[in-house]
Amino acid sequence: MVRNDEYSIGPLKKGEEAALIDLLQALYIGREKHVKRAVCNEPFFRHERITVARYNNVLTACLHIHKRLVYFHGRHLLMGGIGGVATHPAHRRKGLARRLLEDATVYMRKKKYDLSVLFGEPAIYEKSGWQTLTSFSLHSKLPLFQDRLLTMRKARPDDLKHLQKWYVQFNGKRTGPVLRNRKYWELWIKQVIQKRFAYKTYIVSRCKLNIGYFVCLGPGEIVEIGCDITNCQYIDSMVKAIYSKLSKAGTDINWHFFMPDLFDSIRRCSSKLHLDELRNKSYFVTIAPKYAGLCKLISTTNKALSGIGSTDDLITILRENNYISWARDHF
């Protein structure tokens, strides 16, 4: 029987990359390409940000800290996104995940991270200080006024410059979205546009002028939008384009996020409803809470977090500022 103290915990060493990928692919059956991408296409890869457990110099467990800056109500926070937490079946129930999380927390505090976010079962991670974070989603089915001047096409890799610009304009004052620099777009988001994954990105134009984009995941599932917000009519055009694309057969639209300006746009753009339709509840707009991961306050040295002294405080502020996390940024 292997004792817990016979495992060594530390950063990934150069030359162990292939062993790390082998460990992850053996555990994430059916998601082999995804886990390889999470390692090989990580825009800010550093060996020190991958914590591993070794037994007799063999990798038995791992955890990846994804370094990200996120928007926070007009300011920026340094976030450690925890992903790729995995333990080989022969080495489970020895507390390795807890030790990896402790080591990751020490590292993030040393490097002055502000917060950490991960996606997993609360029962596993709450013991290490991560707490459930919720946000909201929007579910709608409404007839909207048609705009015949709108056109759509699938995004191409040469659209990255426009996508970056719209993304910054749309998200700069929000809370939660990741700051995406050019390297991030090239290594992480470009893979989505090149059809290697399930997300489909569309460019919206009006009178031949490109005004924004949206990303869908399956029928009626919207996981991201972005547009030029200098013109208040552009978000209305985006909403009309999305409805035109996805609700031709009466499909409900599930927005994986909620924004007051999005709700107002849907309200403005909706067309006349008949009394029978209202009685039969044929159409609706609903807002519902959704799981947005697990969050942990790491440090309070950032002036943007003035007055925040605990993870509970941080979660309250994130909720008050309508926290948004785009699905394409998940690690």
Per-residue confidence (pLDDT) for residue 219, from 0 to 100 = 79
CATH superfamily of 138-289: Gcn5-related N-acetyltransferase (GNAT) (3.40.630.30)
62 close to 85: Cβ distance less than 8 angstroms? yes
Closest CA to 52 of 95, 111, 105, 97: 97
Per-residue confidence (pLDDT) for residue 2, from 0 to 100 = 47
Per-residue confidence (pLDDT) for residue 54, from 0 to 100 = 96
Residues of the chain with pLDDT under 50: 1-2, 249
DSSP per position, 238-299:
HHHHHHHHH-TT---EEESS--HHHHHHHHHHB----HHHHHTT--EEEEEEEEEEEEEE--
**What type of residue is 223?**
V
Q: Domain extents for the chain? A: 4-133+293-329, 138-289
Per-residue confidence (pLDDT) for residue 125, from 0 to 100 = 95
133 close to 175: Cβ distance less than 8 angstroms? no
**What type of residue is 10?**
G
How is residue 278 written in tokens? 């209202």
Q: What is the pTM of this model?
A: 0.90
Residue 324: C-alpha distances to residues 247, 259, 267, 330 (Å): 24, 9, 21, 12
Per-residue confidence (pLDDT) for residue 41, from 0 to 100 = 76
Number of CB atoms found within 10 A of residue 107's CB: 17
Per-residue model confidence as pLDDT tens digits over 71-113? 998 899 999 999 989 999 999 999 999 999 999 999 999 999 9
CATH number listed for the domain at residues 4-133+293-329? 3.40.630.30
167 close to 180: Cβ distance less than 8 angstroms? yes
